[in-house]
Every structure is written in structure tokens, then in C-alpha cells.
Structure 1
């Protein structure tokens, strides 16, 4: 019995000592100093400055966010301090400890109390109303009895009627005021509830902490950086293009729309935006052998007919690879399976299918595979909200060569277009752009990916002071042997209502044939086609006609600039011309 008592006492003393030791472990939240936002995640770094004694010690960093990725936590310190290990832990708490949530809870409780009081007052008023109705009925019945016996004159009846009407109106007004008050309070509670739900979205009443085991050789204050990934963070690039044609300049405002619902506010942080993939995986996947065997040709043809060549399938293949790479060594089997399916497709597909698939993969890799990081100037604040916040990435003054584009075969409108040079040190990712010309909004567009030193084209809306009209002047047909020859004469009139001369690029086209069964020739054109070497090397060979025009000022109606051209099509007289649309069989 004595031994048992001693054992219980020893266990109790050990527990008390452990509790006391835990209570002595310093705990701090630190301060969020820098954040890198990726697509769907963010890398958050907290800086903790603390005095720790030489030797081994523990440190608790508390109030970690709900959307934290526990396996991503790591810590770094100065030279005289070493982080031996970092452990993540969770513990249940009775209430949300954040000040903002507590304030909302107090407001909600106050509104609920007001609603309860108003509803009780409304019930009491209802009881008074019922008593008034009974008293009114009794009074009217008594008055009717007195009137029938001749005991009541007109004056008391008038006074009684006025009293009943007055009291009834008072009760009605009080009821309506209370009902309006209750409705307003309930709307206020709904708004407060929504705000609270946004704050605690995806969060449970759980406290999250990182326990750091640290060894120190010095005795001075140490700075520790604790970093971790969080979900619920994203950013998307967008642009404003502000054109000034008179100065041959376009201001490119490169912005980002950022939002985060990680569960913690980023207050006064150094913010970076990145397109990289934060895999947190160090080891490469292991390539396994691939066994092959012979199969039924009919089965192979069936697989080929499946057509694994679309943009959707190519994108799914790339996304599956990315998703599995993030899993590290645990996804080795899935990565090898994806590789086997990809190689099997290459073994069985035809040349055209392979080219299409390769083109899709190359395009996706070019637009989505590039990895860039933008360091934003200054310090920014991003609260944990579903709201989006616009931040500036860069402002670029780009030299622009403006020209007017007329394509009357497609539209009667003439558009202003510019070739711009990205002469900055910033890569421009593909994204939506708002287009402005001389301070006026002209529409929306989309920017392609533009690398440093690359030239790109952007449209700046319709110029209503320039007009174009295309018409078929004449069509002649003659038979020559077994062939039919059609001749088409076109006239295009260009009107310039401006008081200054302008340069314009006029585009039209000839039909194209894949074989010699149709002979198509440009007979004449006045003026001549563009002499631009790049145009002659590329678009001209595909049947595109281009004229580089200079329109004098105020050239309209009979003074309009005129372009004329003729072409012939020669083909079997027993056949008809049929357009071949891309991707369709005739």
C-alpha cells in the first residue's frame, strides 16, 4: 500500500512538473513580414524576435491560420541559433479568440436581445389589443341597450366613438412601428451573421500552433523566420492600355487582382506574386521500365478513332502531371501511368494527330509553363476576405507604331491598331485588358504572353472618321474547253473625314485551293500590293491581299481613295466551288 501511494505521488509530481514546464515555454504570434502569392496558395513568413537563453529551448508560435498546409512548415534562423525541429499541433478552443470575431459576436448578441425585447413588447401590445377589442364590444353593446331604452343621448355616443377610434389608431401605430423595428433588427442580424460567416469560413474552433525546438550558442536577441503554405489565396493579372496616338505612345498599366481567405490578415507585408508551383518536394520521381506487347489492329484503330488530340485532353494531361508532381514520391505510380498512356498514344496515333497534340502541348507549356515572380514595391495590407484587391505590378511606357486596319470583307468599321515593343524588364502574362484611347474607354481585349524585348499587337477601337466600302463591280464567266473561268472585279472605296492625312492597311483575300483542280490567279490590282517582306513571305502565300495606303485629308465621296483588283478561278465546268472550313469534312 505504501509503495502504491509513493507511485501515485511520483506520477502526480511528474505531471505537475510537466505542466509547469509547458507553462514556462514562451509563446508568440510573431509578425507576418512577407508573403508570396501563388495560384491557389501563398507562402507566408512570420518573423519572431525573442530573447532565448543559451542552450536548448522551446518556442511556440501560435494563432496559425485555418488554411495552413501543416507539412509545409519550416523555420530559419541566424548563425548562432539552430532550429532542431518544427512540430505542428492543433487544440480545440471554446471560442474564436480573434478580436474582430469577438466584436461581431457582441454585436449579434446585442441585436438578438433587442429583437427579443421588441417581440415581447409586440406580444404585450397584442394582449392589450385583445382586451381593447373585448371592452369595445362590451361598450358598444351597452350603448346600444341604453339607446334602445332612450337612456343615452347623442353627445355620449359621439364621445365614445371618438375614444374607440383614437385608441384603435394608437394601437395600430404602435404595432406597425414595432413590426418595422423587428424587421430592421432581423435584417441587421442577417448582415452581421454574413460578415461573421465570411470571417470564419472554412474554419473550426481550433487553435493551431508550431512548436520550435531551438539550440543557441549566443545570448543576444535572435530573429526566427517561420514559413508555411496556406490555401485560399490567388491572383490574376489584368491590364489597362492607355494609347496616345499623337505621341506614338501607349502606357501599359500591369495590375493584379489578389484575394485571400486563409484565415489571417496580412498587415503591412512585403508582397510577391508568382506563377511558380510550390511543390515542397525535393526528390525526383523514379522512371520505371515500360513493357509492350502486340495487340489486335482493330483495337488499335478504335483507340485512334478516340482522338486524344484536343486542347481539353492536352490540358488535362498537363494538369494531371502537375497535380501528381506536387504529391512527391507517393505519386510515382500515377506519374509513370501517365507517361505510359502518353507513349502508347504516340505509338498508335497517325502523323497528323501527333502534330496536333504536340502543338497543343507546346502552346499550353508556353502560356502556362513560364515561371515568373513579381516583387511589389512598398508594404501592402490584405485582410482575409472574399473581396478582391487591385495592386499594381508595373507601369510601362511603350513606344507604339499606330496604323488603321480596314477589313471590309469582315466589317465596315476601320480599327486603330498598334505594334508595341515590351522594352521593360517585366514579362507580361496573358490576361484581360481594358483599352483606352485619348483618355476614353473603347472596349475590352486580351493580351498575349509577351516576353522581354518582344513586339506584340493591340487594338484600340473603331475610328469612325474613316470609312470603307467594298463592292463587286462585275462578274464574267466563259467556257474554255472543259473548264469554266470566272472573273471577279472588286472595287474598295476608302473615305477619310479627318483634316490630316492618315496611313491605313487594307486587307482582303483570294480563295485558296489545296490541289491543282482549281486554278486561282490575281489578274491585276491598282495600286499594287504591299512590298513588306514579312507579308510576302507569309500571308501573301495564303491568299491574303494587303495594301499599305496613305489617304489624303478630307478625301470623301467622289474624292475617296479607290482600290481595284481582279482575279480568276478556273475549274471543271461540271463542278461547283465549295468552301472548305477548318476542322470540317465536306
Structure 2
């Protein structure tokens, strides 16, 4: 009885060992289901359905890239079935991708053909030399040496030799061309082989303990570099409305060594806290275009007289809103490792737009058409390249910096010379104010004459600059003309309406009062 019991125990042990060995020997291909791509790096999520045996089993997940961050590995089960992951380790794989295998086969085939052609060239070169030798023998009068192998009549011998030489040279030329073509193909194959960025693979070997045989789906997550994304935009300005359509698109690239086949892709504006672990993402908060951290601090504001006022504040009292940071791309996508990047639409939004015709008053004045587009969305539009369209017609490319909520973009939509501008200096004189102190007053007077040569009524903004004071001892005043004046930078502005064919005269007179022996004017 004891012997039978011992036999049963040994049999069970052998069977258990066989099962474990079988599970350990078989590799399981997991499938990538989801990818979250950051500006630099990505989190890969793989799944595999596994039949787990009772007891301790070793499961090998093959085909994982060797460059993944090993410390970031997370292994979970979709269902809590009583199985438990004990530990894991990585085993290097020696595997070549299909492209490398194809190149090796084509290279071997080309090299074999080259050797064959080289051998044929050698044979036909020897035959050509033989016929050339016969030809020389006949010409030197010693053709009798060859009378046993060719016709004894000299004319027939010469014809045969000529024909033989011609045929051999034709064959040599054909083989030489083939050899040249094959060598060129071989060089291309070698260049293609050198361009392959071979990223080695590895097997994830996992020891699992289960109380009973179960079927479960295991999920493997890890962080990997050599992947990323960046945004770009199509901006279509709709001139017949007060809106512009902004298409937000993503360019995704990856050279991870693994192909993303039919996967869900999410792009994220967050930065991983560390590449050593699955990223803990740091939130970004904005308030009127500025980044803040909770706490206290100071800020400086510049007043008109250039004095700095320092004011204390508490950030937690500000109206802070969180930014949406993840964008799940619609549908599923396939992106092979190292292939051209994937471009996909993330979103589209309508932005408020206003238009303005403006003339910068100078010698070459012309009407500039401008569009001001306000970010009326609730999130920041990230920096990137813009393809600019006007009523679906491509106008050019622009660069966009981060555009926060309520910030505006300005685009130039071209110009025309339908309004002529004449600038005339009427007067420029300096008055000595010595009776009232050590000061002088310079008075400058211009006249701007504008004429609408077009057929339509126009509303035009005008801009120019006059000197501005660098010291409180200098005083600049507008004496004549309805101009808005900014004393901090000397900018003057006005707005007019012009009917077709009408000429408008605008006076502009200002004064500069300053100490006679000093110069504070810029």
C-alpha cells in the first residue's frame, strides 16, 4: 500500500513538473490594446488571455522591447480569480524582424547571382582569349597548328573565329551589365540593412500561483521612451463671419521596436514625474495666462511713472481652473515602429474673430488687413505650427506659442493701396522759455491727407509714433487732433470712416517741453 502511494506521489510530481516545464517553455504573445503618449515617452498597455494551472506556473510573455523601463512594469488581472503574481524577471531574446530577414534573403540571393555571373564571365573571357589566339595565329601564318580542330580553308577559319569572338564579346557585355546592376542592388540592400535601428526584444517571465485552474486576462503596463507627439493646427478664417475654425491635430511617432497594431491612442500634455515608474502626473493650473504654485508671494506692477508697486497675495485666493490634459483619438490606429509618423485629428473649436484695416502712417503707407482671433475655449492651445487658410484658401504657415484662455492671435491677411496717404510737415520750431525758467518748448505740426480711391466705404485704424519722455522733467502734450496718446511708448491712434472718392485731412500737433541743457527725449 505504501509502495502504491509512493508511486502515485511520484507520478503526480512528474506530471506537475511536466506542466510547469510546458508552461515555462511556451511563449505567450500579448497584444497592445492601449497606448498613452506623452510629449516624450509612452505608457504601453498589453493584454493576454492565459489558462493558469493550479499551483505555481511560469508564464513567458515574449516580444517585449528591451528598452522598456523595467522598474515601471505593472502586472494585473482583469478579474480577481485567486491567482497571484509572485515575481518576474526578463530574459533576452534573439529575434530578427521581418524587414531584416527579407534583406538577408535578398542579399544572399544577389550575392549568389553575382558569383554565378562572375564565373560565366571568367569562362567567356577564356573563350574570347582562345578565339583571339586563333586570329593572331592566322594573321601570323601559323594557322597550321590548328588544322586538326578547324576547317583547313583559311577563309572559313577566319569566319568562324570572327563569329566566335563576336558572340563571346556580346555575352561578356550582357553579363557585365547584369553584374553592374546586381552590384548596385547589393549596395542598396547593404545601405538599407545599415539603416535598420535594431531594437532587441526580451521575454517577461512571470511566476504565478493559483488555488485552482482558471482562465484570466492579464494586463501588462510599462513606460517606454523613443515615442512622443506634438500638436499642429489648421486655422480657417471665415471672413463672412466673426468666427474662425481651428482644427487641432496630433503628430504621433514611435521607434520603440514594437508595432502598434489597431490600438487606442491617447495623447497627453502631461510630463511623467519620473521615467523610473509609471508616471504620476502633475496637474497644470492657469489663471489669466500665468502658472502658479499654491502659497504666498509678491508680484511687481509697473505704473506710468515707472515706479514699482510691490503687492502681496495668496495663490489659494485666486480663481484657478484645471486644464484638460488628455485627448483620446477617435477610432483605432496602426503605427509601425520607425515608420512615418501618424497624423490624427484631436478636436476642432470655433474661435471668436474680429477684423481690422489699419494704416501705419509712414512714407510707404498702405492698408493692412488683420484678423484678431481670441482663444474663447476653456483650455490652453499649445504651441505648434499652423497652416493658415482664409475662406478655405491656403495662405501660408505660422508659428503659435501657447495661447491661454482669452489671449488673442493676430494674423496679417494681406494689404492693398486703395487709400493714398500724404504726410506733410507743416511746422517745427523751438521756443525759448528762459523768462520762466531753464526750459525750451519744441512744437511740431503735421497734416495727414488720406483719400479713398476704392469703391467701398472703409473703416480704417491709424497708428504712428511720436517721441516719448524718459524722465519726468520732459513733458509731451498733444496740442491738436483727435488722437489717443500713450505716453509710455509714444504711440498715437485714431479711427476714421471714409466714403469712396473722399479725402480727409487730419491735423497732428504736439509739443515737447524739456530742460535746455539736457536731453531726455527718445
After TM superposition, is the score higher than 0.5? yes
Pairwise CA distance, 1:479: 4.0
Pairwise CA distance, 1:59: 1.8
Pairwise CA distance, 1:80: 2.5
1:185 alignment partner in structure 2: 182
Pairwise CA distance, 1:416: 3.2
Pairwise CA distance, 1:487: 1.4
Distance 1:414 1:126 in 2: 80
Secondary structure in structure 2 of the residue aligned to 1:514: coil
Structure 2 residue 84 is matched with structure 1 residue 90: no
Secondary structure in structure 1 of the residue aligned to 2:185: helix
Secondary structure in structure 2 of the residue aligned to 1:246: coil
Distance 1:189 1:506 in 2: 68
Q: Give the direction of change, closer, same or farther, for the CA distance of 1:385–1:529 in structure 2 (3 Å limit).
A: same
Pairwise CA distance, 1:251: 1.6
Pairwise CA distance, 1:439: 2.4
1:343 alignment partner in structure 2: none
Structure 2 residue 17 is matched with structure 1 residue 21: no
Secondary structure in structure 2 of the residue aligned to 1:108: helix
Q: Give the direction of change, closer, same or farther, for the CA distance of 1:443–1:224 in structure 2 (3 Å limit).
A: same
2:512 alignment partner in structure 1: 569
Q: Structure 1: state its 5+ residue gaps.
A: 1-13, 145-154, 284-354, 356-368, 531-535, 580-586
Secondary structure in structure 1 of the residue aligned to 2:108: helix
Structure 2 residue 381 is matched with structure 1 residue 407: no
Deviations 1:74-112 (A, max 9, x none): 11212225543452313352x51x334323322232233
Structure 2 residue 261 is matched with structure 1 residue 267: yes
Distance 1:15 1:189 in 2: 54
Pairwise CA distance, 1:379: 0.3
Deviations 1:46-87 (A, max 9, x none): 011222235543321110014312211111212225543452
Secondary structure in structure 1 of the residue aligned to 2:263: strand
Deviating runs (4+, > 6 A) in structure 1?
Answer: 14-20, 166-169
Pairwise CA distance, 1:36: 0.9
Structure 2 residue 465 is matched with structure 1 residue 505: no
Equivalences for residues 118-197 of structure 1 within 5 A = 118-142=117-141, 164=162, 174-197=171-194
Distance 1:17 1:276 in 2: 48
Equivalences for residues 519-530 of structure 1 within 5 A = 519-525=475-481, 528-529=482-483
2:341 alignment partner in structure 1: 388
Structure 2 residue 491 is matched with structure 1 residue 491: no
Distance 2:177 2:101 in 1: 28
2:283 alignment partner in structure 1: none
Pairwise CA distance, 1:213: 3.0
TM-score of the superposition, structure 1-length normalised? 0.66
Structure 2 residue 373 is matched with structure 1 residue 420: yes
2:332 alignment partner in structure 1: 379
Deviations 1:504-560 (A, max 9, x none): 4332222222203443333323xx346xxxxx8xx66432222234344x55xxx45
Distance 1:43 1:468 in 2: 61
Larger Cα-atom Rg: 2
Secondary structure in structure 2 of the residue aligned to 1:267: strand
TM-score of the superposition, structure 2-length normalised? 0.73
Higher helix share: 1
Secondary structure in structure 2 of the residue aligned to 1:221: strand
Q: Give the direction of change, closer, same or farther, for the CA distance of 1:17–1:282 in structure 2 (3 Å limit).
A: closer
Distance 1:132 1:576 in 2: 103
Higher strand share: 2
Structure 2 residue 114 is matched with structure 1 residue 115: yes
1:203 alignment partner in structure 2: 199
- CA RMSD in angstroms comes to 4.0
Q: Give the direction of change, closer, same or farther, for the CA distance of 1:515–1:258 in structure 2 (3 Å limit).
A: same
Which one of 529, 534, 548 corresponds to residue 495 of structure 2? Answer: 548
Which one of 446, 449, 457 corresponds to residue 409 of structure 2? Answer: 457
2:67 alignment partner in structure 1: 67
2:227 alignment partner in structure 1: 233
Contact 1:415 1:459 in 2 (8 A): no
Deviations 1:284-312 (A, max 9, x none): xxxxxxxxxxxxxxxxxxxxxxxxxxxxx
Contact 2:468 2:487 in 1 (8 A): no
2:215 alignment partner in structure 1: 221
Pairwise CA distance, 1:34: 0.5
Distance 1:52 1:60 in 2: 12
Q: Structure 2: state its 5+ residue gaps.
A: 1-12, 144-153, 279-307, 309-321
Structure 2 residue 471 is matched with structure 1 residue 515: yes
